[in-house]
Structure 1
Amino acid sequence: MKTILLATAFILTSVGMASAADINETLPVAADYDWSGLYAGAHFGYVAGKSNFFMAGAGVGGTDVNLPLDPSGFIGGIHIGFNQEMANRFVLGAEADIAYSNVDAVGTFTGAGALLKSELQWSGSARLRAGYAFDRTLPYITAGVAAAKYEMTVIATSGSIPIHDETHLGWTVGAGIEHAFTNRWIARVEYRYSDFGKKDISVPLFGPSTVANIDLKTHDLRVGLSYKF
């Protein structure tokens, strides 16, 4: 009797193991996430800017004026891009973005007995990206051209006088990390440094021959959400 029971148990176990093996062979195996394709999304973040207003001979005793104006504040915008994942898991892509901002600063313009306000209206970029995919997680670096609309206004007792309202062109570099928490939705965190160069300014208060200029650099920390098509 014991022999019959042992034989029966052995046969049932063997059949069960064989059936389980067959089932495992027929079930689909989850493939690695594919980063290739078009995506678009939105982002927001915080900007810490570095800007310096220079004017020759406008200070006390004819000294030069060097007034730091470091605009800071929040930004929000949209982005669109395309990725191509290679066989070795390297991911190459291109992306463009634009962000509107609430980024400004106010300084004391001693030489004119007034205040000087600077304001970043918007910024944007067109960049290349490169990263390495760890399945659904993608650390990357990025670099490209950048543009920003930068305004400056003298605020005096007689009223406000705009002295600068131009688009600055420059460059941007950064790094970030993305994670695809579904096959379509991708979250990101990104840091960017941008240098928008220097522009000459005409200040009516001191005559058309006055030498003046303003530069702008920014440090951005952004978070975003993208949808992969």
Structure 2
Amino acid sequence: MTTTYKMVRTSILAAPLALAAGMASAGGLSEPVETVAPTPVPVAAPVMTGSDWTGFYAGGQLGYGQLDSDDLTEDPDGLTYGAHAGYLYDMGSWVLGAELDIDGTEIEDETADVAVDAITRAKLRVGYDAGNWLPYVTAGVAQARVSGSLDADDTGGFAGLGAEYRVSDSIRVGAEVLQHQFEDFDGSGVDIDATTAAARVSFQF
């Protein structure tokens, strides 16, 4: 009886010790199991880019023009109206383009009997891509057709500033101011300067 009792008591005492040893070796309370924090995934910051202005376009313009010449009795002014067509190439920050336009006018000096019938222009344009805005400078060659006491046409130069705003992918609105110079118009000895300002609507396709 004594031997059996000792064996039972030894087994009862040994069981908790064995359990504690097993918990320690498995990372129990005395040695907590380490957890690895998830590695953060880098997220690229959004990059702001401008609109793509590349493509052919055409449209119309409506504006105002005024002549300035020492050889005219007054500085006649009047309505201008016309059409334009061109192509732009977006290089990223800068936009290059070429355009042809023609304006009919209601500009007339009744006293001198001189009327400007039409102005045709061949333009080069350099603009800055500011998203939906495109401010630009332009310059080129202009041909003016006049009638009345001076019935002729002549070629001069012009330069100016403009800006366009993209309303949608296919519609743009803008404004443009141009300064023209025609020296010794068709050999008449008359120098003519002309300033035009116009609102424009263009359709890109």
Give the TM-score normalised by structure 1. 0.65
CA distance in 2, matches of 1:93, 1:72: 30
Q: Which of 124, 128, 131 is the matching residue for 1:132?
A: 128
CA offset digits 1:134-165 (Å, max 9, x no partner): 11100000000000001233xxxxxxxxxx21
Q: Determine what percentage of the aligned residue pairs are the same residue.
A: 31
* Contact 2:185–2:192 under 8 Å retained in 1: no
The offset of 1:200, in angstroms, is 5.8
| Counterpart amino acid of residue 172 in structure 2 | I
Question: 1:44 is matched with which residue?
Answer: 62
Residue 97 (1) aligns with residue 101 (2):
yes
CA distance in 2, matches of 1:45, 1:90: 27
* Contact 2:54–2:90 under 8 Å retained in 1: yes
Question: 1:120 is matched with which residue?
Answer: 116
| Counterpart amino acid of residue 102 in structure 1 | E
CA distance in 1, matches of 2:136, 2:159: 11
Q: 1:152 to 1:51 in 2, by over 3 A?
A: farther
Question: 2:158 is matched with which residue?
Answer: 172
What's the secondary structure of 2:183's corresponding residue? strand
| Counterpart amino acid of residue 84 in structure 1 | Y
Question: 2:91 is matched with which residue?
Answer: 86
CA distance in 1, matches of 2:185, 2:94: 39
Q: Which has the higher strand share?
A: 1
Question: 2:142 is matched with which residue?
Answer: 146
Question: 1:159 is matched with which residue?
Answer: none
CA distance in 2, matches of 1:91, 1:68: 42
* Contact 2:96–2:127 under 8 Å retained in 1: yes
Residue ranges of structure 2 left out of the alignment (5+ in a row) = 1-42
The offset of 1:188, in angstroms, is 0.7
Residue 181 (1) aligns with residue 157 (2):
no
The offset of 1:217, in angstroms, is 1.0
* Contact 2:113–2:148 under 8 Å retained in 1: yes
Give the TM-score normalised by structure 2. 0.73
What's the secondary structure of 1:214's corresponding residue? coil
What's the secondary structure of 1:104's corresponding residue? strand
The offset of 1:69, in angstroms, is 3.8
Question: 1:215 is matched with which residue?
Answer: 191
CA distance in 1, matches of 2:184, 2:129: 38
**How many residues matched?**
160
The offset of 1:70, in angstroms, is 2.0
CA RMSD of aligned residues (A): 2.0
* Contact 2:61–2:200 under 8 Å retained in 1: yes
CA distance in 2, matches of 1:142, 1:199: 23
What's the secondary structure of 1:52's corresponding residue? coil
What's the secondary structure of 1:68's corresponding residue? coil
